[in-house]
Chains A and B, each alone.
Chain A
Amino acid sequence: MVVTKSKKIVIYTSIVIVFLGMLSLYFFWNPSNHAFFPKCPFYAFTGIFCPGCGSQRAIHKLINGEIVEGIRHNYLILLLFIVLGYQSILFLLNKFTSTTYKNLTHKPITTKVILVIVILFWILRNISVVPFTELAP
C-alpha cells in the first residue's frame, strides 16, 4: 500500500508540474502568432474543423482574462466548465451536508444530450454560412 501511495503522489505531482508548465506557455504566448504550437492534426489532414479546434487559442484568451473572446474560439470549453463545476459543487455538497443530491450527469439522458451537442457542434461549425461561422474556431 505504501508503495502505491508514494507512486500516486509522484504521478500526481508530475501531472501538476506538466499542467502548470503548459498553462504558463499558453499564458505568455498567443498560439495564433507562434509556429511552435501544434496545429490540430485532424484539421491538417482533412481540412475539417474538429470539436477541439480553437481550444489552444481559447485557453490563451481565458487565462489572460478575456473570457468572452476565449469562449468564442471554442464553445465546448463552456460545456467543460459547466460539467466540471457542477461535479465539484455536487461533490462538496454531498460531502459536507447531510442531504445527498442526485447527480444529473448519472442520468442516461444527460450524457446523450452532451453527445448530441458535441456532434451537432462539430457539424455546424464546419458550415460557412453566417450564423454558424460564429461557431468556427
Chain B
Amino acid sequence: MEQKPTRPNSYLALAIISTILCCLPSGIVSIIYATKVNSLYEDGKYDEAVRASKNAKTWGIVSVVIALVGWLLYILIFGVAMLGAIANGGY
C-alpha cells in the first residue's frame, strides 16, 4: 500500500482570523487556498497541496501584517494628535 505523505497545514484558522480582523478581502483568498489544500490532498496531488498550503500561509500572514501595521500607524497618528489636542486644552 502506498504511504501518504503528511498532510500540509491548511492554515484555516489563520485564514478566518485574517478575514474577520483585517477588513481586507485577502482573507477570502486565504480561505480559498485552505480549501484547495484539502481537496488537492484528498485527490492525491500532494505537491500541489503543499504549494497551496504555502500560498495560504503567505496570504494569511501578509494580510494580518498589513492590517497590524496599518492599525498601529493609525492609532499612533491619531493617538498623538489627540494627546496634543488634550494637552493644549483644545479637546
Complex: A132 Cα to B82 Cα, angstroms: 37
CB pairs A–B below 8 angstroms (7 shown): A38-B71, A41-B23, A84-B13, A106-B10, A110-B38, A111-B31, A115-B32
**Binding site secondary structure of chain B:** helix
The residues in B between 31 and 45 inclusive whose CB is less than 8 angstroms from any CB of A are 31-32, 34-35, 37-39, 41-42
B71 cross-chain contacts in A, Cβ below 8 A: 22, 38
Complex: A77 Cα to B12 Cα, angstroms: 14
Which chain A residue lies CB-closest to B22? Answer: A52
Say yes or no for B7: interface residue by CB 8 A criterion. yes
Check if A106 sits within 8 Å of B38, measured CB to CB.
yes
Classify chain A's interface size.
35 or more
Per-residue CB contact flags for chain A residues 20-41 toward chain B (1 = under 8 Å, else 0) read: 0010010000000001111011
Per-residue CB contact flags for chain A residues 99-137 toward chain B (1 = under 8 Å, else 0) read: 000000111101110110011000000000000000000
Query: Considering only CB atoms and an 8 Å cut-off, how many residues of chain B contact the other chain?
Result: 32
Complex: A78 Cα to B49 Cα, angstroms: 28
The residues in B between 1 and 56 inclusive whose CB is less than 8 angstroms from any CB of A are 7, 10, 12-13, 16-17, 19-25, 27-28, 31-32, 34-35, 37-39, 41-42
Check if A36 sits within 8 Å of B20, measured CB to CB.
no
**Binding site secondary structure of chain A:** helix
Which chain B residue lies CB-closest to A79? Answer: B16
Which chain B residue lies CB-closest to A109? Answer: B38
Which 4 A-B pairs rank lowest in CB-CB distance, beginning with the nearest?
Answer: A36-B78, A38-B74, A108-B39, A111-B35
Check if B70 sits within 8 Å of A41, measured CB to CB.
yes
B20 cross-chain contacts in A, Cβ below 8 A: 51-52, 55, 74, 76-77, 80
Check if B68 sits within 8 Å of A40, measured CB to CB.
no
Check if B21 sits within 8 Å of A55, measured CB to CB.
yes
Check if A83 sits within 8 Å of B13, measured CB to CB.
yes
Check if B75 sits within 8 Å of A38, measured CB to CB.
yes
Check if B25 sits within 8 Å of A50, measured CB to CB.
yes
